[in-house]
């Protein structure tokens, strides 16, 4: 790859600008649908995945989300071909890939630790997969130049990884995965090693890169904010099972159980007894008073349920329904928001957020708050 910059510039200058073409010369139709059917994987006596079924659409940015040990990385590595399932079927488009070795699946993988060759330049790292595939020199240079342009790393082509920041190394790892023109892009917690500011920047970069490339992308993370801000759809996993599948908004606003509600965000929970249901609303009684919640759940009077509401759903001031008389137990000022721990007369604590706080409130002061019915969750106890 000697003289890479000069040669690549000459090759790319004969083509249209990278931003005006489809990525790396690949039509969007190459992005494939991924079908996972009754997939099971065990490690000794432990179930890592148990009868997982999932359809990931072509060109979708799909997230696998869950706590450590839930099976999300096992599923990703099974899709890559690093693990073979004990049972079940995998399809990329109409092609079955059970038993197909990793290098024949045409997947691009981005690892948590980047996995860059320290002795190779950025350009040589990106070109490595093309060299293994015996791509011609001219085509290799053209595709490397395009991949580096997509991740905005052209000026760093001749540097080595130890001359780059963490965010720049992550971009190189992305370019290396993109340059082979994968049918499916697999991302294994790619931002976990970055600091908070870089993670925010790279989220936007991944959004931009996916919008440009349209590659079917499966992204593993335990970071709820990453999933909520980027995913087209997500699957929340626990103990090798899918607990909920849906869009970020649907999963956040309508969790199917307390596990999903607590994992995808913070939730205050009050034990409640049903008083009645009428027209899509349920009236329940709690230690904090009577609440009205908008819900499709149907329960009979006297049954026990959980009433939940997010801290950001707690509004300061009095409303005609769902009012709580509390006392401030703790205050945390975070600039854009103020976090409160509020003590109810029963002694139970609830958490509340106030956006753009302007008033200084002291610990021990009374505070009347309310929660709108549409912001309440009701789940079976």
pLDDT of residue 381: 86
pLDDT of residue 20: 34
The pLDDT tens digits for 129-187 are 898 889 999 999 999 999 999 999 999 999 999 999 988 999 999 999 999 999 999 99
pLDDT of residue 11: 41
45 burial (CB, 10 Å; 0-12 / 13-18 / 19+) is exposed
Residues 308 and 376 in one domain: yes
pLDDT of residue 320: 75
Selected residue with higher pLDDT from 278 and 74: 74
Rounded to an integer, the average pLDDT of 65-94 is: 95
CATH number at residue 375: 2.40.50.140
Taking residue 134's Cβ as centre, other Cβ atoms within 10 Å add up to 7
Residues 336 and 363 in one domain: yes
Tell me how far apart the alpha carbons of residues 80 and 103 are, in angstroms, rounded to a whole number: 9
pLDDT of residue 10: 42
Of the candidates 227, 258, 289, which is a domain's last residue?
258
The pLDDT tens digits for 255-310 are 999 999 999 999 999 999 999 998 899 999 998 899 999 999 999 999 999 999 99
Residues 247 and 349 in one domain: no
Rounded to two decimals, the pTM is 0.88
Outline where the chain has alpha helix (H).
4-13, 72-80, 122-132, 137-150, 166-179, 196-213, 224-230, 248-253, 258-264
Residues 234 and 273 in one domain: no
Rounded to an integer, the average pLDDT of 48-63 is: 96
**Sign of CA pseudo-dihedral 185, 188, 189, 190:** negative
Domain that holds residue 357: 266-380
The pLDDT tens digits for 340-374 are 999 998 889 999 999 998 888 999 999 999 999 99
Return the CA Rg of the chain: 25
Residues 98 and 158 in one domain: yes
Q: How far is CA 96 from CA 71, 91, 99, 318, in A?
A: 22, 4, 9, 59
Q: 66 Cβ partners below 8 Å, 6+ apart?
A: 72, 222, 236, 237, 238, 243, 263
Residues 138 and 37 in one domain: yes
What 128-133 contacts at long range (C-beta under 8 Å, 24+ apart), as own/partner pairs, is 128/176, 129/176, 129/179, 129/180, 130/179, 130/180, 132/103, 133/180
Residues 280 and 245 in one domain: no
CATH number at residue 142: 3.40.50.300
Of the candidates 236, 258, 280, which is a domain's last residue?
258
Residues 274 and 158 in one domain: no
Above 50 in pLDDT, residue 31? yes
pLDDT of residue 67: 93
User: Phi and psi (nearest 5°) for 380?
Assistant: -60, 145
Above 70 in pLDDT, residue 108? yes
Residues 216 and 143 in one domain: yes
259 burial (CB, 10 Å; 0-12 / 13-18 / 19+) is middle
pLDDT of residue 13: 38
Grouping H, G, I as helix, E, B as strand and the rest as coil, residue 36 is strand
The pLDDT tens digits for 193-234 are 888 888 888 899 999 999 999 999 999 999 999 999 999 999
Residues 102 and 214 in one domain: yes
Angle, CA 221 vertex, CA 219 and CA 227 arms, to 5°: 75
Q: How many structural domains does the chain have? A: 2
Residues 23 and 113 in one domain: yes
The pLDDT tens digits for 112-144 are 888 899 999 999 999 998 988 899 999 999 999
Above 50 in pLDDT, residue 75? yes
Rounded to an integer, the average pLDDT of 30-42 is: 92
Residues 91 and 227 in one domain: yes
Above 80 in pLDDT, residue 6? no
> What tokens does 228 get?
């909520």
Which single residue is written with the structure tokens 């908004």?
Answer: 249
Of the candidates 258, 293, 310, which is a domain's last residue?
258
């Amino acid at each position: 790859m000697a003289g890479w910059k000069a040669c690549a510039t000459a090759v790319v200058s004969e083509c249209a600008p990278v931003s005006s073409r489809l990525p790396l010369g690949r039509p969007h139709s190459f992005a494939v649908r991924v079908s996972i059917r009754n997939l099971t994987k065990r490690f000794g006596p432990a179930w890592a995945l148990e009868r997982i079924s999932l359809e990931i659409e072509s060109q979708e940015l799909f997230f696998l989300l869950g706590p450590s040990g839930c099976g999300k990385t096992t599923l990703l590595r099974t899709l890559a071909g690093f693990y073979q399932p004990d049972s079940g079927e995998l399809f990329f488009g109409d092609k079955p890939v059970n038993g197909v070795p990793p290098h024949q699946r045409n997947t691009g993988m981005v690892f948590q630790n980047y996995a860059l060759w320290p002795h190779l330049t950025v350009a040589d790292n990106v070109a490595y997969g093309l060299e293994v595939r015996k791509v011609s020199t001219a085509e290799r240079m053209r595709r490397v130049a395009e991949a580096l342009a997509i991740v905005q790393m052209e000026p760093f082509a001749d540097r080595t990884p130890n001359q780059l920041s963490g965010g720049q190394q992550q971009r190189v790892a992305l370019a290396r995965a993109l340059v082979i023109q994968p049918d499916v892009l697999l991302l294994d917690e790619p931002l976990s090693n970055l600091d908070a500011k870089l993670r925010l920047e790279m989220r936007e970069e991944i959004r931009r890169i996916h919008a440009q490339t349209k590659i079917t992308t499966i992204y593993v993370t335990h970071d709820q904010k990453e999933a909520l801000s980027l995913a087209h759809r997500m699957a929340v996993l626990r103990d090798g099972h899918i607990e909920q599948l849906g869009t970020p908004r649907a999963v956040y606003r309508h969790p199917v159980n307390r596990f999903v509600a607590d994992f995808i965000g913070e939730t205050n929970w009050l034990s409640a007894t049903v008083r009645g249901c009428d027209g899509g609303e349920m009236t329940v009684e709690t230690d904090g008073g009577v609440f009205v919640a908008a819900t499709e759940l149907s329960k009979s009077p006297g049954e026990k349920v959980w009433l939940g509401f997010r801290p950001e759903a707690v509004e300061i001031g009095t409303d005609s329904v769902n009012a709580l008389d509390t006392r401030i137990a703790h205050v945390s000022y975070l600039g854009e928001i103020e976090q409160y721990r509020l003590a109810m007369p029963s002694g139970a604590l609830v958490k509340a957020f106030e956006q753009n706080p302007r008033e200084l409130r002291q610990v021990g002061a009374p505070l009347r708050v309310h929660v709108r019915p549409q912001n309440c969750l009701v789940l079976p106890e």
